[in-house]
């Protein structure tokens, strides 16, 4: 028997870092989630956590026959699809272009571009006016970075077809948009770190906000783009990169920060915030910068390793 409880949201790459955050966010928000990922990815085990009426299915989005089979199973359960989030992807292998095998290039295109294209096509056929498709792209599709040839090409293509779909399906009342994250603290990034292909400290130093994103921060951006609050947004790409694309000068965009704080937003520390006794700057409790905007405009804590007290227009502060 077909059932329809709230919006039905199909999420690919559901077992990964951003994917799990997306599943949790939409499921707790009252939507019915269809979580999709590769066989043996752990997506079927997510069913025990999600429970009824959510659905977890295995599918290789690089294979058209798998996608067609997936939609047959979805049609058995639901009347229509309200939201598609194309999140499944293979990450960059960071190999020089001269050493990139054509098979690896083609795999990136199949998973990151051809698969989302077929997913969007099949979803649009089953969508009613008000439906939304969100493609999770990357700043790699907007910037030039070495050793990301196939990945960058696939993500640039994904941003391009987002615009094509948006124009083509707008008369049917279907919106299509994209979210382009920068560096996100996910298992994919952790694997690259273990392989020695990226250095987190160097990455963070080029991000004005001084840290990588958390998966839930990207998920919230996606949720906004598919919400009624974004009803007049289509064909657009929302960049979620902590200011990475805005920084364009030699040197560091942000002082190097501790690994333990990499995925944490600036947090209020008792006794150091402007609301707490007017004390700003170096935190006496955990010996880290409170990252207050006032602190940065006066002189950053990192440059003053020795604690020094003073007073002034901002009240008492400690460096």
Query: What residues act catalytically?
Result: 151
Phi, psi (deg, nearest 5) at residue 17:
-65, -60
- Residues 83, 226 contacting (CB under 8 angstroms): yes
**Distance between CA atoms of residues 94 and 180, nearest Å:** 19
Give the torsion sign (CA, 155, 148, 93, 245).
Answer: negative
Distances (CA, A) of 233 to 142, 174, 176, 241, 312: 19, 11, 8, 20, 47
- The helix (H) or strand (E) run that includes residue 68 is helix 64-77
CA-nearest of 26, 42, 22, 30 to 5 is 30
**Distance between CA atoms of residues 243 and 83, nearest Å:** 28
- 3 state DSSP class of 132: strand
């Amino acid at each position: 028997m077909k059932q329809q409880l709230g919006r039905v949201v199909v999420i690919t790459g559901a077992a990964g870092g951003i994917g799990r955050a997306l599943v949790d966010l939409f499921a707790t928000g009252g939507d019915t989630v269809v979580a999709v990922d590769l066989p043996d990815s752990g997506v079927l085990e997510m069913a025990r956590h999600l429970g009824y009426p959510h659905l977890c299915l295995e599918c290789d989005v690089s294979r058209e026959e798998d996608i067609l089979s997936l939609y047959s199973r979805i049609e058995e359960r639901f009347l229509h699809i309200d939201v598609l989030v194309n999140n499944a992807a293979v990450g960059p292998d960071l190999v020089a272009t001269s050493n990139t095998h054509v098979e690896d290039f083609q795999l990136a295109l199949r998973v990151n571009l051809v698969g989302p294209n077929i997913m969007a096509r099949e979803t649009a056929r089953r969508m009613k006016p008000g439906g939304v498709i969100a493609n999770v792209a990357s700043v790699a599709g907007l910037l030039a970075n070495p050793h990301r040839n196939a990945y960058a090409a696939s993500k640039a293509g994904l941003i391009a077809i987002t615009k094509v779909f948006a124009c083509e399906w707008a008369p049917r009342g279907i919106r299509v948009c994209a979210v382009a994250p920068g560096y996100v603290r996910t298992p994919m990034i952790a694997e690259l770190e273990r392989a020695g292909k990226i250095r987190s400290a160097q990455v963070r130093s080029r991000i004005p906000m001084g840290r990588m994103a958390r998966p839930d921060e990207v998920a919230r951006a996606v949720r906004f783009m598919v919400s009624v609050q974004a009803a007049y947004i289509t064909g657009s790409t929302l960049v979620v990169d902590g200011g990475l694309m805005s920084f364009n000068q030699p040197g560091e965009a942000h002082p190097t920060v501790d690994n333990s704080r990499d995925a944490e937003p600036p947090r209020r520390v008792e006794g150091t915030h402007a609301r707490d006794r007017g004390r700003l700057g170096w935190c006496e409790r955990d010996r880290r910068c409170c990252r207050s905007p006032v602190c940065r405009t006066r002189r950053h804590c990192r440059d003053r390793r020795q604690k020094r007290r003073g007073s002034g227009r901002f009240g008492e502060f400690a460096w």
